[in-house]
Structure 1
Amino acid sequence: MRGTTKANKRLCGLFLIIGQLVLFATTGSAQTVTIPIETAGHALVLQVNNHKDLNIIYLGKKLAQKEEYGLIPNSYRQYSDYTGLYNSAYTPSGGRNLLEPAITVTHADGNNSLDLRYVSHKQTWEGEGVSLLSILLQDPVYKFDVTLYFKSYFKEDVIEQWSSVSHNEKGNVILYKYASANVCLKADSYWLRQYHGDWAKEMQPEESRIIHGIKTLDSKLGTRANLFQPSMFMISLDKPATEDEGYVMMGSMEWSGNFKIDLEVDPQNNLRVIAGMNNYSSPYTLKPGEKFETPAFLYTLSGNGKGEASRKLHAWARNYKITDGKGSRLTLLNNWEATYFDFNENKLVELLKDTRKLGVDLFLLDDGWFGNKYPRNDDHAGLGDWEENRQKLPNGIASLVKEAQANGVKFGIWIEPEMVNPKSELYEKHPDWVVRQPKRDEYYFRNQLVLDLTNPKVQDFIYGVVDDLFSKNPQLAYIKWDCNAVVYNAHSAYLKNQNHFYIKYVEGLYNVLKRIRVKYPDVPLMLCSGGGGRVDYGALQYFTEYWPSDNTDPLERIFIQWEYSYFYPALSSSNHVTDWGKQPLKFRTDVAMMGKLGFDIVVSKLNPTDLAFCQNAVKTYDAVKHIIFQGDQYRLSDPQSNSVASLMYVNHDKTTAVVFNYLVNNRYEEGSKMPVRFKGLDPAKKYRVKEINLYPGVNSSIDTDLVYSGDFLMNVGFNPVVNSGRTSVILKIEAAV
């Protein structure tokens, strides 16, 4: 937890006293309780009515007068709510509810109804600007409890919601649905921005109006769950939000397995968002006294468009969620596209020398270094057998780590520890550790199967893979953790109740990652899942970065990275310069610099000028990466609708900024015909604009002697002169002394 000053503590205590105030209103003999959850700009307001139903009466801009929250329900004259539950904070099923429930159960006596009434609530302060509200709900007939949790981050305007279910009935209870959150929004209309994709086609956006009925975003893949559809989304109120205008909610599940997000426009034209783990094939048997806790649903609101909401999420992620979110990241050279599976120790030694020559921090050894009985010479064999291949690496990983040290660079390694090839010693020895149906044919995804992480022995094995690498090689500096298969024929030889498989798998994964982070808290880990198949904050709390896509064509990457950047800050995005695409080396490098820079090229085949450019680019990047990692991000020109894509990072004191500009459409002599309006600068400050990361021998036409006011640069703009001859331009803006 970050340190706090006495003044900050007094300030946070004050906002908890007056901002999280509990308000009481009396109507006749009945009493209502109003519970506002306030952040810097917004409020989620809960109210307990005289029947002890807990409802959401408001989610929007914070009011100046706290006592007026209780008056909100009287301001609406909508169609009748026959149930009193349309805006329930956690909608039960089987009773008087007529809409999509947040929770569905069968009690120990076979009764399918549930009624949840308010009992009590409490608040705790968990650090500077962070509070946790818990609200206890109980069924008045059954010994069945639900506790709702609302964790608010005051400065960042972010809320996490989750639930906990328990009971003391005389027998087991079956949970058929168990959402993390049940959020209600009021507006004239609602617009959804969602994403779809596949391998190398990640984060393709679609926007549509949400109409009556239920729109569902979900995954049933078990692992690598985001392959076709991630859980990230945006909802605009009244009209589609732009970058800087409109009311928008950004939300996402913090869960790396099957998820389900139901979006329902109710009979009153309100929008209900019910988000949680997917209950597909997963009725959960809950024993008396056992607690079932759901993962968090995360969201933020903005009244000033998508850009502001995005910056709030970035600040929250850096401050509270991503491992080493306030730190830096290592540049690297990866061997994958230089060698694929065809390498030996001598080749790798030469690549280590190239790593030093290039000037990056680390060499990453990718797939293919392991397996002896079944050597990993392609993707058909070896997964699960995590010992060095004696033919390729006769002296083991240790000699490579030592060689890296001799060259003044660090050494990292690729693993895919959750997976197994049928052609492996692990599969032969432990077929009971593999996710597969015993009476059905095996069906493979990338020639592999998934290990059963519900099994504690498998968890120990996977933890041991990582621990063994570090025990033998204490100087190992980086892990790339891959996951390339989905779950087919879901079955666990370990679990007695197969309905628990999809949930217990992810919990098993998190158990392993927690153990790794306890013992190795500072080691950088890349979250890679065939590209962006597992990008969520449930996983990213254990990783320093993620791999957005195996598609490294720089033109495609502009679009992919652009959409990811709404939800994840730049320091978490791993971007590599490769030989994919037809764009020049400078273009490819400039695109990769919009995050955590890496190279996956054959350095020895670069001509002297290209090599000099790459070496200078690394130095340039090292000088500005702190702005990219920790600065505020502004999207200036969207590649989806413009011929030039422009994106900007500004440091917090607004003295320095970096602007990336790319030509994404070269038809009809397209280019930056109009100036690009900058954002986030101080209008009163004076700035100089300089082009950086130039290719050797190329002189910039931009006059660095001119001085512009921040007001001019943000309202008139600046033309980066992007055209078919200058397809990529990076600008550095510095306050004039």
Structure 2
Amino acid sequence: KKAVTLYRYDSSLLHITGEKYYLTEFSGDWAREVNMTEQPLAFGKKILDTKLGSRANMFCSPFFLLSLDKAAEENSGEILFGTIAWTGNFHFTFEIDQQNRLRILSGINPYASEYSLLPGEIFRTPEFIFTYSMEGKGKASRDFHRWARKYQLKDGEKPRLTLLNNWEATGFNFNEEKLVTIMDEAVKLGVDMFLLDDGWFGNKYPRNSDRQGLGDWGVTTAKLPNDIEKLTQEASKRGIKFGLWIEPEMVNPRSELYEQHKDWVIRLPNRKEYYFRNQMVLDLSNPKVQNFVFGIVDNLMKKYPGIAYFKWDCNSPITNIYSPYLKDKQSHLYIEHVRGLYNILERVKQKYPDVPMMLCSGGGGRSDYKALSYFTEFWPR
């Protein structure tokens, strides 16, 4: 009959009894991701978590491997392999008590996220996904991948497109002629698709660097006077597909979007703004922002039906943590932001079910199995 406040909302609690416990975690940073580190667990708590929000697993990946009684081996031993299906802050807590019993708590990280649940509302926790192997980590990994391809990853059992991306060749410095030349190279290589990466948009603030233009999704006429349509036609002439990079959840302060809709940006009203890669995060808890982000994909597909693929990037964690939309419910932000992202991705999936998308986050800063239900692959670095 009254609202209740949730302070913790774990997805699972596992109890395990063994003589010894060995935990493998996966951590790293840009261009050196997913480094495996194994350590024995002892009395007390070991926590793996993230508080980064959007680019949640930039430093700590959302999965773990637990070996019982001995260090993990490839083809023998008892192994628990677990992950959480949540594209935001998560935690795994491993606690050994005085009787050497282990319990594992997994779920959304409750950091700064007290949640007020009104009468009749439902709070659904994300799935904890795990497998158990009696034949070492090799079988655990294979079983996990087999399950993911069949049940979780979008189009998991269909072939993937090979592609050539212009980014490493040109960065932001390209024009139509250069891109068409790279398409010719794609044909020589025998790949399926040419992908145009960052730098194709913005006119008042042309996207000639990562310092401006993000959020303004009009084609830069100085670089591409004949528009994206010309590029899709050139790709089609060569018998290859055309893909396009977008980063629709983000904005540069130096952009028309920021000038017109500062209230759509996650930013503290009384503090100096902090930028990660010269950008900020749009407030996906706001339905108007959700419509805008969906509209980026929708408008591009309507205007350029020759687009066959999107590389969806997310280069920044959430900084300046304050939602103008949520007002007095700021502790809901980390959760409602992720729910807003899922609303957008579900709309894209429903309207364009046959358009594959790559999940990129400065590399593999997002690689959870919930997000991968909307994407055909992710980009590790």
Range into which the TM-score falls when normalised by the shorter chain: over 0.9
* Aligned partner letter, 1:459: Q
Correspondence for 1:469 among 285, 291, 300: 300
In the alignment, structure 1 residue 177 sits paired with structure 2 residue 39 = no
Aligned equivalents of 2:8, 2:253: Cα separation in 1: 35
- Runs (5+) with no aligned partner, structure 1: 1-169, 550-737
Is structure 2 residue 309 aligned with structure 1 residue 478?
Answer: yes
Cα displacement string for residues 18-52 of structure 1 (whole angstroms, at most 9, x for unaligned residues): xxxxxxxxxxxxxxxxxxxxxxxxxxxxxxxxxxx
Residue 500 of structure 1 is matched in structure 2 by 332
The letter of the residue matching 1:471 is: K
2:365 is aligned to 533
Describe how 1:334-413 pairs up with structure 2 within 5 A.
334-413=165-244
Distance (whole Å) between structure 2 residues aligned to residue 358 and residue 534 of structure 1 = 29
- The 1-side partners of 2:4 and 2:23 are apart by 35
Instruction: Give TM-score scaled by structure 1 length.
Output: 0.51
Alignment of 1:214-233 (within 5 A): 214-233=45-64
**1:631 — aligned with what?**
none
The answer as to whether partners of 1:220 and 1:278 remain within 8 angstroms in 2 is: yes
- What's the secondary structure of 2:32's corresponding residue? coil
Whether 1:288 and 2:125 are equivalent positions in the alignment is no
Write the distance in 1 (CA, Å) between the matches of 2:207 and 2:365: 23
Q: For residues 199 and 352 of structure 1, what CA distance do their matches in structure 2 show?
A: 28
Residues 374 and 423, structure 1, Cα contact 8 Å, conserved in 2: yes
What corresponds to 1:522 in structure 2? Answer: 354
Output one character per residue of 1:302-361: Cα deviation in whole Å (capped at 9) or x when no partner.
000000011110110111000111100111111001111011111112222222222111
Post-superposition shift, 1:260? 1.0
Alpha-carbon separation, structure 2, partners of 1:383 and 1:271: 47
- The answer to whether 1:252 aligns with 2:89 is no
Matching residue within 104, 110, 135 for 1:304:
135
Q: Distance in 1 between the 2:36 and 2:142 partners?
A: 19
> How far apart in 1 are the matches of 2:35 and 2:297?
34
Name the structure 2 match of 1:202: 33
Paired amino acid for 2:371: A
Q: Which amino acid aligns with 2:330?
A: Q
Give the alignment of 1:663-678 within 5 angstroms.
none
Q: Which residue identity does 1:193 align to in structure 2? A: T
Report the residue type matching 2:232 in the other structure: V
2: CA distance between counterparts of 1:491 and 1:526? 29
What is the deviation of 1:206?
1.0
* 1:589 counterpart residue number: none
Distance 2:9 2:99 in 1: 24
Q: Secondary structure at the match of 2:183?
A: helix
Out of 103, 107, 119, the residue aligned to residue 276 of structure 1 is: 107
Task: Report whether the alignment pairs 1:423 with 2:254.
Answer: yes
Q: Displacement of 1:517 after TM fit?
A: 0.4
127, 149, 152: which one aligns with 1:321: 152
Secondary structure, counterpart of 1:436 in structure 2: coil
Cα distance in structure 2, aligned partners of 1:201 and 1:332: 23
1:396-416 deviation digits (Å, cap 9, x = unpaired): 111110111011110000000
The sequence identity of aligned pairs, in percent, is 58
| 1:187 equivalent in alignment to 2:18 | yes
User: Matches of 2:118 and 2:112 in 1, distance apart?
Assistant: 19
Distance 2:321 2:169 in 1: 36
Alignment pair present for 1:548 and 2:347: no
Partners of 1:299 and 1:268 lie apart in 2 by: 25
Report the residue type matching 1:541 in the other structure. S
1:578-593 maps to which residues of 2 (within 5 A)? Answer: none
- What is the TM-score of this pair, normalised by structure 2? 0.98
- Provide the C-alpha distance between the structure 2 equivalents of 1:453 and 1:385, rounded to a whole number of angstroms: 17
Whose relative contact order is higher, 1 or 2, with alpha carbons under 8 Å and at least 6 apart? 2
- Determine the C-alpha separation between the residues in 2 that align with 1:228 and 1:315: 26
* Alignment correspondent of 2:285: 454
Q: Deviations over 1:162-193 (max 9, x none)?
A: xxxxxxxx321110000001111111111100
SS in structure 2 of the partner of residue 185 of structure 1: strand
- The Cα shift of 1:510 comes to 0.7
RMSD of the alignment, in Å?
Answer: 0.8
Amino acid at match of 1:355: A
Q: Output one character per residue of 1:168-226: Cα deviation in whole Å (capped at 9) or x when no partner.
A: xx321110000001111111111100021111121111111111111100000011110
Letter in structure 2 aligned against 1:296:
E
Partner letter of residue 64 of structure 2?
Answer: F
1:240 pairs with 48, 71, 78, which one?
71
* Counterpart secondary structure, 2:292: helix
Equivalenced residue count is 380
1:414 maps to which residue?
245
Give the alignment partner of residue 441 of structure 1, picking from 257, 272, 276: 272
- TM-aligned CA deviation for residue 270 of structure 1: 1.4
Q: What are the Cα deviations for residues 226-250 of structure 1, in whole angstroms up to 9, with x where unaligned?
A: 0111111100011112000110000
**What are the superposed Cα offsets for residues 124-153 of structure 1, whole Å, 9 maximum, x if unpaired?**
xxxxxxxxxxxxxxxxxxxxxxxxxxxxxx
Task: Give the SS at the match of 2:7.
Answer: strand
**Aligned with 1:203: secondary structure?**
strand
CA distance in structure 2 between the partners assigned to 1:398 and 1:374 by the alignment: 22
Q: State the distance in 1 between where 2:275 and 2:308 align.
A: 32
Rg comparison, structure with higher value:
1
User: Which whole-Å CA distance do the structure 1 matches of 2:226 and 2:30 have between them?
Assistant: 36
> 27, 43, 48: which one pairs with 1:212?
43
For structure 2, list consecutive stretches of 5 or more residues without a partner in the other structure. none
- Post-superposition Cα deviations, 1:664-708, rounded to whole Å, max 9, x if no partner, equal xxxxxxxxxxxxxxxxxxxxxxxxxxxxxxxxxxxxxxxxxxxxx
Q: Please show how residues 624-635 of structure 1 align to structure 2 within 5 Å.
A: none
Q: CA deviation at 1:268?
A: 2.6
Find the aligned partners of 1:420 and 1:310 in 2 and give their Cα distance. 37
Kept after mapping to 2: 8 A contact 1:324/1:522 = no
Equivalent-residue separation in structure 1 for 2:380 and 2:189 (angstroms): 24
Q: Which residue of the partner structure matches residue 510 of structure 1?
A: 342
Say which SS state the counterpart of residue 164 (structure 2) adopts: strand
